Amino acid sequence: MIYLDNAATTLIKPPTVPAAVSRAIKTMASPGRGAHRPAMAAANEVFNCREEAAELFNVEEPERVVFTMNATHALNIAIKSMAHKGSKVLISGFEHNSVVRPLKAIGADVIVGGTELFNPEGLLRDFERKISGAELVVCTHVSNAFGYILPIYEVAELCRENSAPLIVDASQSAGILPVDMKKLGAAFIGMPGHKGLLGPQGTGILLCGEKGRTLMEGGSGSDSISEYMPEYLPDRMEAGTHNVCGIAGLRAGIKFVKEKGTENILKHEKNLLRIMKKNLAGTDYELFSGDDDCQCGVISVRSPKMDCESLAQELYKRDICVRSGLHCAPLAHKSAGTIETGTVRFSFSPFTSQEQIVKCCKVLRGIV
């Protein structure tokens, strides 16, 4: 099997990830729920994962690393902490439903800027025109549908100049591109654990520049006498029992990323991207690709001879796993002009090989 759906979930993990999950299941209880050895082992594992994440993302205090169920959970906390009904919120034209739907649900006044694919300069010009009066800016770092790298550090500077708080969706960049909390100065940065960080599904991280509002309330293992959630992080945002087994696996994934180096992971994925573009050049496939500087290891294609769902099924019959459709990002497809058809998306990981890409391209040429 050739697995090329890593923008949804990385399937192939470092061996240390399942080993860490298995160890946690067998030896760890819940942090903050006792002073016995299984509870303390869990507390140590969770804190060590916070420290690993804080170091990778340049967060000053590990307590500002909050664990969530996924990126959607993290972004909902962030958005509902910063926006309310009627808030003027500027977003990019490539946001995922994890951003768009919470904003619509609370009745925010959403302004869309930067809708041209692979045009970071155009996005910045459009944001500069539209940011006046914005109470919040929410921007993805990388489009999940097209691999388009948005100029997030320049967006952050523009936000500072206009006193607009920034929320960053790092779902497709964490573990692949540099995500620097201190340099970005963001109010919040949300990300999943199961994509570029190579952790288990059901894990996520919210990096907190602000204290934020609670999305859920419940047991925190601290201040049990109070009827209200603690005021301090991370306890304020982590109601209920932690996913200790998932966090243990996430820690192993983060350690792998740090040892490998995000610069090497990005270099590997961009090389695979070049190989795929070269091997499909001259075919009938429409490739959505940009310059090397503004695209990472995700590429979408369309065929004039076959709809996207049928093409994905043909690939699956040949043991190639991809994703077709709108990728939970209809706004991105509207911006790219693919809203009526969707695309077939190919996405890579550190474990994707050049041979797999060459074979996939050969299959694609044969299908059409």
Provide the pLDDT for residue 153: 98
Q: In this structure, how many other beta carbons lie within 10 angstroms of the beta carbon of residue 20? A: 26
Question: What are the start-end ranges of the H helices in the chain?
Answer: 16-27, 37-56, 71-82, 97-106, 120-130, 152-161, 181-184, 244-260, 262-280, 308-317, 330-336, 354-367
Write the pLDDT tens digit of every residue in 229-255.
999 899 999 999 999 999 999 999 999
In this structure, what token pair is assigned to residue 81? Answer: 């902490």
Write the pLDDT tens digit of every residue in 272-308.
999 999 999 999 999 999 998 999 999 999 999 999 9
Provide the pLDDT for residue 34: 85
Asked if pLDDT for residue 145 goes beyond 90, the answer is: yes
Q: Which of 32-36, 76-80, 106-110 has the lowest mean pLDDT?
A: 32-36
What single-letter amino acid sits at 195? K
Collapsing DSSP states into helix, strand and coil, what is residue 254? helix
Average predicted confidence (pLDDT) for the chain:
97
